[in-house]
Chain A
Amino acid sequence: MINTHFLNIELKSPTVLASGILGLTASSMQRVIEFGCGAVTTKSFSLDWRTGHKNPSIIPFEHGMLNAVGLSNPGIDEMVKEIRLFRRQCTAPVFASIFGRTLDEFGEVTRRAAEAEPDMIEVNISCPNVHSEFGQPFGESCPDTAKITQIVKKHAGKIPVSIKLGPHGPGIGKLAKICEENGADAITAINTAGPGMLIDINVRKPVLANKTGGVSGPAILPIAVKSVYEVYRSVKIPIIGTGGITKTGDAIQMILAGAHILGVGTAVYYEGIEVFDKLNKGIENYLKEQGFDSIEEIRGAAHE
């Protein structure tokens, strides 16, 4: 496997479980590690538990997936327990994905999450399917992005922070720059795109209970690659390239665009949990065939 350095964290492979996929419990995350995943990201959690949206909340379509889970989570007390349990059972790094309803809540969740000593805190400011409740995602506003980055950094202590951005809003390069200027240690790009909608033609109603939801999977790969490309151009901090990575070629494109490590989520549906092993081997083979010794040699190569 390809050992990877990221923010002084040692990963056994460059593929990381993306937030929202199989990240609810220690048992679940540990199983993913057994399939070659280099680090796990928890499901996004908040101070208080949330039921999220009704079902259907996750629906595959021909070219990807549409979801409006609605940030359901058991709340920080439960999630801190699961992170600690994972720590006891597994040596792989764990990233805590957090969100808040208000700027202050972002600070409080960060402070509490830091107590569980995750290897990194990922800050979800770009969920596209809680619009009716939260309004426009914080991550689509430059001032809010700056404020949240500051608050989170203040409460995270020595734990590094990555801000998770979406492909929409005032430009992902510009937003990433704001994060960097306000102390972010990394950028996770991108969240799900959209929101989008699917309508059933027999009952003539939107399929998702929430009507709209974020788009993931192969459909958004080009958007994700372009977003990572833009972020790489605008900041020096490392990027967790996420969005539509399913096959080896997708992963390589992300690295060429400038990704440091790779978030993999929806691909678990297409390829099984084995997708982590498959991607790791695929990346290794590509490097060998093309005459490279490490990922570093090709990172951002598409910019040259």
Chain B
Amino acid sequence: MPRRRTQTLQLLMALGLALFPFFAGDYWLHTGIICLFYIMMASSWNLLAGYTGQVSFAHAAFAGVGAYVSGLAAIHFHLPPLLGALLGMAVAAFLGLLLGVLCIRMGGIYLSLTTLAFSEMLRIIIDNEYEFTRGTMGLSVPFILPVYSKTTAYFLMGAVTVAVLCVIRSIVRSDLGTAFRAVQNDETAAASLGIHVVKVRLAAFVISSTMAGLAGALYGHYHQLITPEILSLNLMFFVLAIAVIGGMGTFVGPIVGAIFLEFLSEYIRIYGQFHVLLFGLIALAVCRFAPQGLMGLWQRRMRALSS
């Protein structure tokens, strides 16, 4: 795509994003904020899974870490939510580093299993330590801003999402991003060229977990209620399905996937519990017939048109 057109498109999207609250009702504003959360989650998971080929099942767990740390800090130490979010992010980064050091050397299936175990252990702890975490009842936490305003919350979430996306984009385009892809393509060859495979993978894991921690903390303070649902495999499934359906290993894929799924789920809400099933079936169909996701289909179409 010509550069000019890309820029125009970006400008239009930014404008649409900025004007959205002024014509969207309260309900759609809420949907928009949730969508921003999923964009952050799926994009950061994609940085790990799509660019370095490591499927982590702890991404939702790291969002939970961010949310609970920030929420508990706000309740017990009266830390302002925005500072709390930074703290939550830092703790997620630290845990990500610890877990990464433990399991990244083995990679592949082992990484998936270890992250799954970590995620479930965390959930069990939060369920059981209800005196501290309120268990499945959920933890009531202060709103993200001193004054309740959905519009301001939307702009805050939007700004953070844009910042996160910018960081991801610059990483993908940097030498580190090239190293990510080299490691995903062929780690033996990458190592033979002087790439420290374990460090590169660890970097991806920690960066991705940190972003999840930030997204989770903001999400928790927006909802004002944090439940163990945030680190459930269900949320993990949504994040994964968004990235898969949008197109893993592409920058735009998770964004498209999040918007697609969030708005689709609004339209099929009348079918209630059907919607997870439907997402699942769509994701399966995409895996089977279009492994590159919607972005892959789009690119193929563009190529067909131009030739």
Q: Please indicate whether A and B come from the same complex rather than being unrelated chains.
A: no
Interface residues of A (CB under 8 A from B): none
Interface residues of B (CB under 8 A from A): none
